[in-house]
Chains A and B, each alone.
Chain A
Amino acid sequence: MKDVETRPRRYEWIVILAILLASLPLILGFSLLMLSSFSREMVTNLDLSSFHFTLENWINVFQGKLATTGGIRTNILKITFNTLVVALGVSGVVTFISALAGYSLSRIDFRGRKHMMVLLLILHAFPGVALIVGVYLLYRLTFPQNPDVIRLYSFFYVILARAALEIPMSVWLMKGFFDTIPWEFEWSGIIDGASRIKVWWKIMLPLIKPGILAVALFAFLAGWQDIIYVRTFLIDQTLATFIEANIEAEYSHMPLIAAAGTLYLLPTIIFFLTAQQILLQGYSGGIKG
C-alpha cells in the first residue's frame, strides 16, 4: 500500500531523515566494524585519520596467525567449515521436518490436530534455557564411549538440538505456505489416484518452492548465528566460539577480530542483497526475539 500520490512530498524527506537518525547507531556500529577489518588500527573511535588501509588482518585471519608473538595457528577455514556444517545441518533438518509436518497440519483433518498446533505455539514460546539443561543431560547420557565418533556425535547432536528449537515456528510457517495453495490441486491429484504422500511430493512441494526456500534460509541463519548451542555441545570451534574466545586478544589485534567478525557476517550480507523479499515477507510468520 502506498499513497504517495496523495501526500505532500516534502514530508517524505522529513520522515526518511527521522528514520535515518534513529538507525544511525546501527549503521555506524556495523560499518565501523567492517571498516576496521581493513585498517591497521580500530576506527571505532570515528577518527578517520587512524584508518590505514591494509589487507593484513584478512591475510592473518586466513593464515590463522592470531598473535604476532607466539606461533598459535588456527585453521580458520576449518572453523568456517564447522559453522557451515552446523548451519546447513540445521537448515536441512528443519526444512525436511517442517515440510512434512506443515503439510499434514494444513491439509489432513485428524483428531488432535488443533491441540498439536496449540502445543507447537506454546513450545515456541517455551523458555529455551529451561530446556537446554535437560538437553545437555540427555547429551551426556547418550554420549558415545568410542572416542572416534565423539566429535561426529557432537556435530550430530548440536544440529538436532538447535534444529528442534526452530521446529515449532517453521512448521507453522510451512503450514501457512501450504494453506495458500488452492485445494483444487490437492483434489485433482486425489481424484487421479495419487496417495497423500504422492500429492505432497509430486504436486505440493513443487508448488511451495518459495516457502521451502524461505524456511531453509531462516533455519540456515539460525544455525549460522547460534552461539549458545555450539559452545555448549560442539567440541570443535565455530566462528562464534572463535570470536568469543579471542576477544581478549591483545589490543593491537582488535582489527583482526573485526576481520573474523566481518567474515562471519558475510552470509547475512549475501542474503541481504539477494533474498530481500523472502526475508521481509517470511519473517512475519516466524520470529521470536
Chain B
Amino acid sequence: MVKIILKEITKKFGDFTALNNINLKIDDREFMALLGPSGSGKSTLLYTIAGIYRPTSGRIYFDDRDVTEVPPKDRNVGLVFQNWALYPHMKVFENIAFPLELRKVPRQEIEKKVREVAKMLHIENLLDRYPWQLSGGQQQRVAIARALVKEPDVLLLDEPLSNLDALLRLEVRAELKRLQKELGITAVYVTHDQAEALAMADRIAVIKEGKILQVGTPDEVYYRPKYRFVGGFLGNPPMNFVEAEVENGHLKVYESKIPVPAQYRELIEKLGIKEVLLGFRPHDAEVIKGIGEGLIGEVYSFEPLGREQIVTASIGGTFVKVFAPEGEHFTFGEKVTVKIREDRIVLFDKKTERALEFLEE
C-alpha cells in the first residue's frame, strides 16, 4: 500500500520518445486508469512503474523510497497482462504459487495463501487444471490471483479485460473494482477503452503521444476536457465539435448564432479570442424539427438504438451527433435545429485545441 510519484519521467527508445516528461501522483489505495489510444505510451508507463523499463530520465518514488534503480523483483508489484501470460506447462495452483516459490516461502504457507486468494477469486475448484482447460474469464481470474498472491503494494493491470468478450467484460469490470477497494491496494490500470476507465477508475490520466494531457476524476475528464483530444476520446459517441467565430457576445456557427455561454463570457472578453471550437456531448443537446433557436442544420442520418436514437445532423458541412428520444421520426435532409444545454458547452481555442479555461496553464 503505497503512493506512487512519477517525476519528470522520459523514456526514449532510440530516437523515438515514448514518454515525454511525465509527472503523476497516484495516491495510496487509489485506482488510477491510464487511458489513451494504442501507441500512446500508456503501457510503457505501466512497465516503467513495474521496473521492466528504466526511464531515460526522471525518478519514480513509492512513498518516499526512490525505486528508479530498483529491479522489478524488489518493487513488490503485481502485474496482470493483456494476454494473462499464464505458464501453460504449469497447473493453476503452480501458476499462482510460482511467485511465492521464488521467494522461498515455506510449502505450507504457499498452500494456505494460494487457497486463500483462489477462494477470493472463486477459482478454488480449478486449482489442478491447466490454463488451456479454462475459459477466458477463468484464466483472467487466475492471472489476477497470481498477481495478488504475493500481497503486492501496487497492482498493475495492462488491458486485462480486452481479451474477454463484451458481456464478460462488464461483469469482471464491476468485480475488479470491488476487489481493489476491498483489498485497499493501489492500482494502475492501462486501457484504451474509455468506458472501462470511466466505470472503474477513481482518477483517469489521459495520455497521447507520450504526454499526459489531463488527470482528473471521471467527471472532470468527461465534462471538463482540457483538450479537444480528451473530449473526442471519451464518450460514445464522443464529443461534437463545431467551429465558431466570436461576434459581439455571440458565437457564429455557419449561418446560426447562439449567445456565448454564461460561464465563458468573462473569459472570452479577457482573452480576446476570435476563433473557437464549440464542444458539446451528444446527450447535452436536443434536435428540434424546423428552424429555431440554436444551430441550424439538416438531418444527415439517424440510427435507432432501441431506447433512443442518434441523429447525425450536418451543420454547414460539419457533422454532429445528438441523442433524440425514440419514436420521433426524421427524414433525410430535413431541416432541424440543434439546441445545446448552455452550461455544458466547452469552448476550445481553435489553434491549440485547448479548452479556454486552461489556456493559460
Q: Do A and B bind each other?
A: yes
**A residues neighboring B (CB under 8 Å):** 182, 184-185, 187-194, 198, 202-203, 206-207
Would you call B52 and A190 a contact (CB within 8 A)? yes
B72 touches A191 (CB 8 A): yes
List the one stretch of B3-11, B75-83, B111-119, B253-261 in contact with chain A: B75-83
B75: chain A residues at CB < 8 Å are 191
Chain B: minimal CB distance from A195 (Å): 9
Q: Which residues of B contact A189 (CB under 8 A)?
A: 98
Interface residues of B in 80-105 (CB under 8 A from A): 81-85, 87-89, 98-99, 102-103
- Interface flag for B51 (CB, 8 Å): yes
Bitwise interface map of B from 139 to 171 toward A, beta carbon under 8 Å scored 1, else 0: 000000010001000000000000000000000
Contact of A198 among B87, B102, B150 (CB under 8 A): B102
B50 contacts the other chain (CB 8 A): yes
CA distance A203 to B146 in the complex (A): 15
Interface pair A187/B73, CB less than 8 Å apart: no
CA–CA, A190 to B146, complex, Å? Answer: 13
Contact of B77 among A185, A191, A194, A202 (CB under 8 A): A191
> For residue A206, which residue of chain B has the nearest CB?
B89
Q: Which residue of A lies closest to B95 (CB)?
A: A188
Contacts of A182 in B (CB 8 A): 83, 85
Contact between chains at A192 and B89 (CB < 8 Å)? no
- Indicate with 1 or 0, residue by residue over B16-60, a CB within 8 angstroms of chain A CB atoms: 000000000000000000000000000000010011100000000
Q: Are A194 and B102 in contact (CB under 8 A)?
A: yes
Across the interface, which residues of B come within 8 angstroms of A192, CB to CB? 73, 98-99, 102, 146, 150
Q: Which of B81, B84, B146, B150 has the most CB of A within 10 A?
A: B81
A202 to chain B, nearest CB (A): 8
The CA of A118 and the CA of B243, in the complex, are separated in Å by: 56
Chain B 62-80, CB-CB to A under 8 Å as 1, else 0, gives 0000000000110101110
Contacts of A185 in B (CB 8 A): 85, 87
The number of A-B residue pairs with CB atoms under 8 Å apart is 54
Partner of A193, one of B81, B83, B99, B146: B99
Q: Are B79 and A191 in contact (CB under 8 A)?
A: yes
Q: Which residues of B contact A198 (CB under 8 A)?
A: 102
Is B73 a contact of A193 with CB atoms below 8 Å? yes
Instruction: Taking A184-B82, A187-B52 as given, write out 9 further A-B residue pairs in contact, using a Cβ cutoff of 8 Å, ordered by the A residue number.
Output: A184-B85, A185-B87, A189-B98, A190-B73, A191-B51, A192-B98, A192-B150, A193-B103, A194-B73
- The residues of A that contact B146 with a CB separation of less than 8 Å are 188, 192
Chain A residues contacting B150 (CB-CB under 8 Å) are 192
- The 3 A-B residue pairs whose C-beta atoms are closest, nearest first, are A184-B85, A193-B73, A192-B99
Minimal Cβ-Cβ distance residue in A for B47: A187
Q: Which residue of B lies closest to A190 (CB)?
A: B72
In the complex, what distance in Å separates the CA atom of A289 from the CA atom of B200? 60
Among A187, A194, A206, A207: residue with most chain B CB under 10 A: A187
B69 to chain A minimum Cβ distance, whole angstroms, is 15
Quick check: A207 and B102 within 8 Å, CB to CB?
no
* Chain B neighbourhood of A203, CB < 8 A: 87
Q: How long is the Cα–Cα vector from A185 to B150 in the complex, in angstroms?
A: 17
A187 and B76 CA atoms in complex are apart in Å by 14
Known contacts: A191-B50, A193-B73. The answer to whether A207 contacts B103 by CB under 8 A is no
Give the docked Cα–Cα distance between A217 and B248 (Å): 83
Nearest-CB residue, chain A, relative to B100: A192
Residues of A within 8 A of B82 (CB): 184
Q: Which residues of B contact A191 (CB under 8 A)?
A: 50-52, 72-73, 75, 77-79
B297–chain A nearest beta-carbon distance, Å? 48
Bound Cα distance from A206 to B75, whole angstroms: 27
Chain B nearest Cβ from A46, distance in angstroms: 53
Closest to B73 in A: A193
| Cα separation A188 to B88 with both chains bound (whole Å) | 13
Can you list 6 pairs linking A and B with CB atoms under 8 Å apart? A182-B85, A189-B98, A191-B52, A192-B99, A203-B87, A207-B87
Distance in angstroms between the alpha carbons of A198 and B103 in the assembled complex: 12
Bound-state Cα–Cα, A182 to B51, Å:
18
A192 to B86, CA, bound (A): 13
Which of A184, A190, A202, A206 is close to B83, meaning CB atoms less than 8 Å apart? A184
A202 to B88, CA, bound (A): 12
Contacts A187-B50, A187-B52, A187-B79 given; indicate if A193 touches B85 (C-beta within 8 A): no
B88 near A207 with CB under 8 A, answer yes
Chain B residues with CB under 8 A of A207: 87-89
Contacts of A206 in B (CB 8 A): 87-89
Least CB distance, A184 to chain B, in whole angstroms? 4
Chain B residues near A187 (CB, 8 Å)? 47, 50, 52, 72, 79, 81, 85
Residues of A within 8 Å of B79, CB to CB, are 187-188, 191
Contacts known (A193-B102, A198-B102); A188 close to B81, Cβ less than 8 A = yes
Q: How far is the CA of A191 from the CA of B52 in the complex (A)?
A: 8
Cα(A251)–Cα(B103), bound, Å: 71
What's the Cα separation between A203 and B52 when bound, in Å? 17
Measured in the bound complex, the distance between the Cα atoms of B274 and A256 in whole Å is 101
Residues in A with CB closer than 8 Å to B72 are: 187, 190-191
Give, as a whole number of angstroms, the nearest-CB distance from B350 to chain A: 42
* Smallest Cβ-Cβ distance to B75: which chain A residue: A191
Q: Complex: how many Å from CA A220 to CA B75?
A: 45
- CA–CA, A191 to B49, complex, Å? 11
Separation in Å of the B206 CB from the closest CB of chain A?
25
Task: Check if B73 sits within 8 Å of A184, measured CB to CB.
Answer: no
Q: In whole angstroms, what is the CA distance A202 to B90 when docked?
A: 10
Question: Which residues in chain B, 104-149, are within 8 Å of chain A measured between CB atoms?
Answer: 146
Residues from chain B with a CB closer than 8 A to the CB of A188 are 79, 81, 85, 146
A182 to B72, CA, bound (A): 18
CB distance from A164 to the nearest CB of B (A): 31
B181 CB to nearest A CB, Å: 23
